[in-house]
A and B are shown apart, each in its own frame.
Chain A
Amino acid sequence: MRVGRAGLSVLALPLAVLLLSACTPVQPWVKPYEREHLADPIMSFNANPIQSSYIVHVFEVREGARGATGSVGGGCGCN
């Protein structure tokens, strides 16, 4: 597997966040009981995956740019 410099740089930032998280206790500044709005389905970045994937495909076929359209999970901590 060949990992280019660009690939390494993509991984570096989240890796640093991971390492920092191990030694820095962080208190949640939005308490679980304050996340009602964030838990609302209208706040999802990707509420309907079958619709999102189709429209992303439509654009990628016709445009030169691609990627980084945001497939990471919600992370609102509502559960």
Chain B
Amino acid sequence: MGWTRGIRARSLTATLFALAAVSRAAVLPDDRADLDWHEWQGGGVTVDGPGVLVRKKVDDSLSLSASYSVDMISSASVDVLSTASPYKEKHTEGTLSADYLHGNTIYTAGFIEGHESDYIAKTGFFSISESMFGDLTTINFGYSRGWDRVGENLHQDGVITTSWVGDADHRNWSAGLSQVLTRNVLLGVNFETAESDGYLANPYRSARYVGPDGLVHTEAQAYPDTRTGNAGSVQLKYYLPWHAALDGSYRLYHDTWGILAHTLGMGYTQPISSDWTLNANVRYYRQNAATFYADLFPYEDSQNFIARDRELAQFNDLTFGLGASWLFHPSWPHWIEKGTLNLTYDRMHIAYGDFHNYAVGGMPMGVPLYAYGADITQFFISFWY
């Protein structure tokens, strides 16, 4: 409830990241298994749980992949505190996919299904990756189709019932290019268009307006039932002479709801021995508000579309991350070639420009703008076989 609202459980982008054929040139990705424990703590919300990702070649041309993750959510966020009671929720997601190699081309197809008690998301996807120009260039096209069922849990006399309030359909097109520029520099360029239609709002949240009595009242949100977003990004990665890597990225996003967003990222990877590798990164994100968003509307039904979801507000966030990885070669079992133990920690700070913390009550003039920090931790072990 709330964790994935307004966005499909583990979006296609995130899932394709997990399943992407990260091979160099047209070869199938390595056989490997990853087990993780992840945790988010921030904004009154704790989300933690395990995940697993397994990939195995059937033969020289076919590789199968499966993943499963669980998020246990305990929420007392600012939205919950101002309008409802803290709650607990569980989100699960499973994915199956196959990669087929033919010549210099990899065909990928798969299916994702995510569940919460009040949200069901199903997505099918297909992509083609082609290596060319002496394996200096790889291009990729992808398409996905998603079907979501959106519900609202109603609490009455200690009994929870789910009322299904609507459906949402999604279509994504993506195209990417990975290019060797020099013997030390890689370039990545990506474009993605996403169209959604149907019930795109969050049934648990409400908008606020000033009533004739001068007090703040709430009303139901009214979202447009379509949304089209376009994103383009560029990434560069440099190999540094002292055996380290530096990367930088920029992404521009714009959609028909009026959100314009910029994302900047930098990372540095430094092996410090044959077994240990350290990583540091920083990421900055900024967006303006959707055209139909307001923290406080001047009166009831003041416009056709009304929203106060803070994901649509004006805000920026800054994230610093550190990571360490230890490589080992187990003597048993013999079929495991190598493994890594990995720990990452990110500190994120989000500051809103037009979203006040009404959980403390009162009118905007006396209420602070909302801001919070979050700790993001992930521990995972990987095996290659």
Contacts of A9 in B (CB 8 A): 193
Using A6-B193, A65-B263, A77-B134 as known contacts, say yes or no to A58 and B40 having CB atoms under 8 A apart: yes
| A-B contacts, 10 listed (Cβ < 8 Å) | A26-B133, A34-B183, A39-B24, A49-B34, A53-B14, A58-B376, A65-B263, A67-B11, A68-B192, A71-B13
Where chain B touches its partner, the secondary structure class is strand
Q: Which residue of A lies closest to B182 (CB)?
A: A30
Looking at A2, A17, A37, which has the most chain B CB atoms within 10 Å of its CB? A37
Contacts of A34 in B (CB 8 A): 183
B7 close to chain A: CB less than 8 A: yes
| Cα-based distance from A75 to B24 in the complex (angstroms) | 5
In the bound complex, do residue A48 and residue B342 qualify as a contact, i.e. CB atoms below 8 Å apart? yes
Contacts of A63 in B (CB 8 A): 261, 285, 287, 311, 317
Using A38-B180, A48-B342 as known contacts, say yes or no to A67 and B192 having CB atoms under 8 A apart: yes
In the bound complex, do residue A43 and residue B239 qualify as a contact, i.e. CB atoms below 8 Å apart? yes
B331 CB → nearest A CB, Å? 22
Using A6-B193, A7-B193, A37-B183 as known contacts, say yes or no to A75 and B22 having CB atoms under 8 A apart: no
Task: Among A28, A46, A50, A77, point to the contact of B51 (Cβ < 8 A).
Answer: A50
B370 CB → nearest A CB, Å? 12
Where chain A touches its partner, the secondary structure class is loop
Contacts of B163 in A (CB 8 A): none
Using A4-B228, A38-B180, A45-B178 as known contacts, say yes or no to A61 and B4 having CB atoms under 8 A apart: yes
Contacts of B290 in A (CB 8 A): 64
In the bound complex, do residue B380 and residue A48 qualify as a contact, i.e. CB atoms below 8 Å apart? yes
B50 CB → nearest A CB, Å? 11
In the bound complex, do residue B36 and residue A50 qualify as a contact, i.e. CB atoms below 8 Å apart? yes
Residues facing B in A36-79 (CB within 8 A) are 36-40, 42-79
Task: Among A36, A42, A62, A79, point to the contact of B244 (Cβ < 8 A).
Answer: A42
Residues facing B in A2-44 (CB within 8 A) are 2-4, 6-7, 9-11, 13-14, 17-18, 21, 26-30, 32, 34-40, 42-44
A12 CB → nearest B CB, Å? 9
In the bound complex, do residue B311 and residue A68 qualify as a contact, i.e. CB atoms below 8 Å apart? no
Using A10-B191, A17-B139 as known contacts, say yes or no to A65 and B259 having CB atoms under 8 A apart: yes
In the bound complex, do residue B36 and residue A54 qualify as a contact, i.e. CB atoms below 8 Å apart? yes
In the bound complex, do residue B245 and residue A75 qualify as a contact, i.e. CB atoms below 8 Å apart? no
In the bound complex, do residue A74 and residue B4 qualify as a contact, i.e. CB atoms below 8 Å apart? no
Query: A: which residues have CB within 8 A of B?
Result: 1-4, 6-7, 9-11, 13-14, 17-18, 21, 26-30, 32, 34-40, 42-79
In the bound complex, do residue B190 and residue A42 qualify as a contact, i.e. CB atoms below 8 Å apart? no
B172 close to chain A: CB less than 8 A: yes
In the bound complex, do residue B136 and residue A68 qualify as a contact, i.e. CB atoms below 8 Å apart? no
Contacts of B3 in A (CB 8 A): 61
| Cα-based distance from A39 to B40 in the complex (angstroms) | 33
Closest 8 pairs (CB-CB, A-B): A77-B135, A75-B138, A28-B134, A72-B176, A75-B178, A67-B192, A65-B253, A68-B231
In the bound complex, do residue B175 and residue A70 qualify as a contact, i.e. CB atoms below 8 Å apart? no
| Cα-based distance from A64 to B4 in the complex (angstroms) | 13
Using A66-B231, A78-B24 as known contacts, say yes or no to A11 and B141 having CB atoms under 8 A apart: yes
Contacts of B141 in A (CB 8 A): 11, 14
Task: Among A42, A58, A69, A77, point to the contact of B136 (Cβ < 8 A).
Answer: A77
| Cα-based distance from A31 to B237 in the complex (angstroms) | 19
Task: Among B14, B135, B145, B255, point to the contact of A57 (Cβ < 8 A).
Answer: B14
| Cα-based distance from A17 to B229 in the complex (angstroms) | 24
| Cα-based distance from A72 to B26 in the complex (angstroms) | 12
Residues facing A in B108-165 (CB within 8 A) are 129-142, 145
B70 close to chain A: CB less than 8 A: no
Using A53-B15, A56-B17, A64-B311 as known contacts, say yes or no to A10 and B193 having CB atoms under 8 A apart: yes
Using A14-B141, A74-B138 as known contacts, say yes or no to A62 and B311 having CB atoms under 8 A apart: yes
In the bound complex, do residue B178 and residue A72 qualify as a contact, i.e. CB atoms below 8 Å apart? yes
Using A35-B183, A55-B346 as known contacts, say yes or no to A60 and B14 having CB atoms under 8 A apart: yes
A69 CB → nearest B CB, Å? 5
In the bound complex, do residue A42 and residue B183 qualify as a contact, i.e. CB atoms below 8 Å apart? no
B46 close to chain A: CB less than 8 A: no
In the bound complex, do residue B380 and residue A50 qualify as a contact, i.e. CB atoms below 8 Å apart? yes
